[in-house]
Structure 1
């Protein structure tokens, strides 16, 4: 695939003037604009790269293929292709929610291209399994996805504020709701299934790069036990429990997220 085709397919935008690149990857139901409050704070020192997963935002919807995107590997392949198109090396992936795992797969595949990884609200598996606590039973996930299939707009209006948390700041929930509602319903249903039925626990020990795990408090999607599990399984990882609450600190607490990433990437370390 030609470089320009890749950049158009994923609606890639480039900012900043540093020599090192930060690639910001958004979560389910979102688009690249969910990272703006954080990414703009790095433009003085880094090249910042934002993009939309195929099927989200202003990506090329015609490029969506249910077979390719039937697993997170398809999205990780896109991330690697973006890196190839931009000739990236020693770049940092900053992934939110499911994109933490997509970023992990890309870093495993190309550790020279992506040499550090920041995982914001990661979960390798959302469904409880024996001693593993994912936060949901299989039946709960089944019900969530049936609700999404039957009433996309209703699902978005009901779930987005709960996912966001921060009930005292309803404008944040409204912002996430609008993002969820703007997603193509069929693609949203398929991406939700891929996300919530995924199990990437075996990939965690394979992550070869230095990794930062950022965990929020009162996160109904990825509880603290999940972030602690990720930290325990990723070999070269650091863990920070943020003061931020809810699942989207890139929206609710961008300054805290920015500070944590800056500290992690500080040259003196």
Structure 2
């Protein structure tokens, strides 16, 4: 299997560490462009598309393999082996933050640090845990996706993006959702929103920066606070931003927080 073709892998930049950028549901690697230029002069950067997204090889999609996040974690581990040089920092948006946590659990010592942007280990309210959605809300969302994916995308993508002062970003996310092959998107949505990765993140000692928007319909502040509580070496940074994609709508705030957190790896000689 040609991984570069399968995941449309792009490698650029050079430096003492590798940043692997992993996009969320309905997105692709192009949505990292607001951050990437900030880092390519100081480190190696690896971009890729999840199978089924962007310019990935749709022929590589396997419904059984990708019926859980483990299939996506397997892909990410493979591309780290082939294209990343240590130390490796995973920058994961939304569900990809949990995919990165799975890789870390499966391959202890492979990941030097995580930057989790809008992460959520579980989207459903369970007992005292606040995920942001009731189970019936998730079932309703998935039923709507199944019956009218393009209509759901056109309605929900701008809401998910937020960024009320930047309507072009909502349009970009809508177009990205609509470009995704509907059957693949439906399965990835079901896998994403029904996953519960709380056991996978609990006690994970890898240094982690949690970047959480102050107003996010998908991952409320309570989720970031929960993760901060269960990840012993974590830093929680609230970004003043409306929406689930602060790396697009508030890139300066994100890059500033990342600079401070990542300094030991990407600027090792700076005191």
TM-score, length of structure 2 as denominator length: 0.95
* Counterpart position of 2:39: 42
* Counterpart position of 1:265: 262
* Counterpart position of 1:80: 77
Query: What is the distance in 1 between the residues matched to 2:42 and 2:174?
Result: 32
* Counterpart position of 2:54: 57
Q: Deviations over 1:31-85 (max 9, x none)?
A: 0011111011101101111000011001111111111111111111110000111
Query: What is the distance in 1 between the residues matched to 2:42 and 2:97?
Result: 23
Q: Secondary structure of 1:7's match? A: helix
Query: What is the distance in 2 between the residues matched to 1:32 and 1:177?
Result: 15
Query: What is the distance in 2 between the residues matched to 1:81 and 1:210?
Result: 22
Query: What is the distance in 2 between the residues matched to 1:208 and 1:131?
Result: 24
Q: Deviations over 1:90-122 (max 9, x none)?
A: 110000000010011112222432210010000
Retained in 2: the 8 A contact 1:10–1:59? yes
Q: Deviations over 1:123-148 (max 9, x none)?
A: 00001111111000111111111111
Query: What is the distance in 2 between the residues matched to 1:213 and 1:64?
Result: 30
* Counterpart position of 1:6: 3
Retained in 1: the 8 A contact 2:164–2:242? no
Runs of 4+ in 1 over 6 A off after TM superposition: none
Retained in 2: the 8 A contact 1:111–1:208? no
* Counterpart position of 2:267: none
Retained in 2: the 8 A contact 1:111–1:209? no
**RMSD of aligned Cα (Å):** 1.2
Aligned residue-pair number: 266
Deviates more, 1:101-110 or 1:188-197: 101-110
Q: Deviations over 1:163-194 (max 9, x none)?
A: 01122321111011000000000000000000
Structure 2 unmatched runs, 5+:
265-269
* Counterpart position of 2:18: 21
Query: What is the distance in 1 between the residues matched to 2:27 and 2:204?
Result: 25
Query: What is the distance in 1 between the residues matched to 2:49 and 2:229?
Result: 30
Q: Deviations over 1:233-253 (max 9, x none)?
A: 112111111112210011101
Q: 2:143 aligns with which of 135, 142, 146?
A: 146
* Counterpart position of 1:158: 155
Q: Secondary structure of 1:136's match? A: coil
